[in-house]
Amino acid sequence: MTNTNAQYCPVCSYALKKTDTECGRCGEVLQKITEPVETLRQAPADAQSLTGYSIEAIGKVADVEVAGSPDIHFANGQPVKEGSTKRARDDDQRSMRMLQRELRDLNERIARMDAEKRMTSMLDGNAFRQEQAAEGAVVTEEVKRYSKSDRYFSSLVKRHVTAMKEAGRGATEGSLNAETLYHHFIDGSIVKPGVFDRSITLFVGPPGSLKSTMAAVTIAGMAKASGGRALYLTLDDRKSKFELRTRELNLQKESEIIAVADKRDIRRGSNDIQSNWRASLMEYVRRQLSRGKFRFIVLDNLNALSTLLSTDRERRATFALFNWIRDLGLTAVAVMEGEYSKVLRSKRPEIYLADGIVQFHRIDRGNGESVPMFRVLKMRGAEIDCRYYSLQLNSGSLKFVPAVAM
């Protein structure tokens, strides 16, 4: 279904409502948008485009003000005067060209899928060579069958194996000589002896389950104990919200230990306004590390960093991000919004790549009251108590009580 009320942020390409004046993802201030003008002509209720999109309305405007992506014009402007048949014809032609383009793209995709199916059905155990089109991995109709003795196939294999052996030098060498450094985490009886240095722990749960609060307390505790500093990156909320939270927890005294930045700070700190979110974040963190002794980091939350990549590429991107954090010598807590069961079903790569997972939840007591709870599901290198614990905020400190004792 074509969305006629959308615009796209010119910086991060995030889809926004037409009436939005600020990008909800990167904070970019957009041009002032006026209300869309009522269209003059409505397509019949059962009209269908050639591509299967339903045509709800075709708007006609005279003067166009464009916000967002230049490729998509959802325009504001003055309504076309009735009787302007030439303008109506031009607009019809423009719409028709757009529909033809969509149809051509769809046909190309269908042709590619057909070609892949044909090749799959020809498979009899021999290797096939995939023709590479100029623009990338586009499968052509002609497929040659190659046996393992084929020189092209062999040379490809040899090239990859050589590159792997080069890159993998040291893959089997060395062992862990130094003592493992652990950081006290949450509570010594729940995670014994703690999380190891340069680990990444995921806090997963629905909104309002105190993940961010717990992340702030945990990271402050680790930083204080180790003599280092913590960087708290709040990617969804404003810094002011975090400051309110720290006041409730009496963490404002720890302001020297925790440095907070929100997305505006990150964006402002980036030299390249067109770079994507991940690149801006990495640049910002590198800069902060060069200025202070940061040893701990909170990413709140990872959902803001999720890409539009396919699942497999997302895993690769997440693997690269986590490795980058570890290589910087940081011990991290990464917050993730969503019920853990849903995250697990969707096979988010973060849950497989993280060293630890703490699940947050709110349990309904039935009298209108819900109680925040957490439990540790995974922690590499540590002995864990997997029971549910309730979170209680008392006199500015967080207390954990086993759920069975409530």
Partner 1 sequence: MNVAEAGRIRTHVDGFDTVLGGGIPAGSVVLISGSPGTMKSSFAFNIIQRNAKSEGTSSVYISLEQSKESIIRQMRSMKLAPEDNPEVHVLDMANVREEIEAATMDDTVVTVLKEYLTDYLKEWGCSLLVLDSLDVLDLRSGVSSKRSHVFSLFEWLREMGLTSLLISESNPQEALENGYEEGYLADGIIELTLSADEGDTVRRRIRCVKMRNTQHQTSFYSLQFTEGRFVVTQSIG
Place of tokens 């615009």: 7
Alpha helices (H) in 292-356, listed in sequence order: 311-327, 340-345, 349-353
Spatial neighbors of 105 by CB under 8 A, at least 6 apart, are none
Supply the minimum distance, in Å, between the C-beta of residue 5 and partner 1. 36
300 bridge partner residues: 234, 335
Which range binds partner 1 by CB under 8 A, 239-247, 271-279, 292-300, 378-386?
378-386
Q: How would DSSP label each residue in 234-276?
A: ESSS-HHHHHHHHHHTT-GGGGGTEEEEEHHHHHHT-S-TTS-
Q: Which is nearer to partner 1, 29 or 404 (CB)?
A: 404
Query: Residue 335 CB, nearest distance to partner 1 (Å)?
Result: 17
Amino acid code (one letter) for 206: P
Q: Which listed range, 32-40, 116-124, 214-222, 245-253, lies at the site for partner 1 (CB under 8 A)?
A: 116-124
| 101 belongs to the binding site for partner 1 (CB under 8 A) | no
Interatomic CA distance for residues 284 and 297, integer angstroms? 12
Pairing mode, strands 294-300 and 331-337: parallel
Report, in angstroms and rounded to the nearest whole number, the Rg of the chain calculated over CA atoms.
27
Residues 330-349: x where in contact with partner 1 by CB under 8 A, - otherwise, as a string: ----------xx--x--x--
Distances (CA, A) of 380 to 7, 54, 179, 212: 44, 51, 16, 22
- 143 is an interface residue for partner 1 by CB under 8 A: yes
Quote the least distance from Cβ 204 to partner 1, whole Å: 10
> Is residue 386 a contact residue for partner 1 (CB under 8 A)?
yes
Site for partner 1 in 348-377 (CB under 8 A): 351-355, 357, 359, 361, 363, 375, 377
CA distance linking residue 378 with residue 90, whole number of Å = 62
Judged by the rule CB under 8 A, the positions of this chain that interact with partner 1 are 116, 119-120, 123, 125, 127-130, 137, 139, 143, 148, 153, 156-157, 160-161, 163-165, 167-168, 171-172, 174-176, 180, 196, 312, 315-316, 319, 323, 340-341, 344, 347, 351-355, 357, 359, 361, 363, 375, 377-378, 380-383, 386-388, 402-404
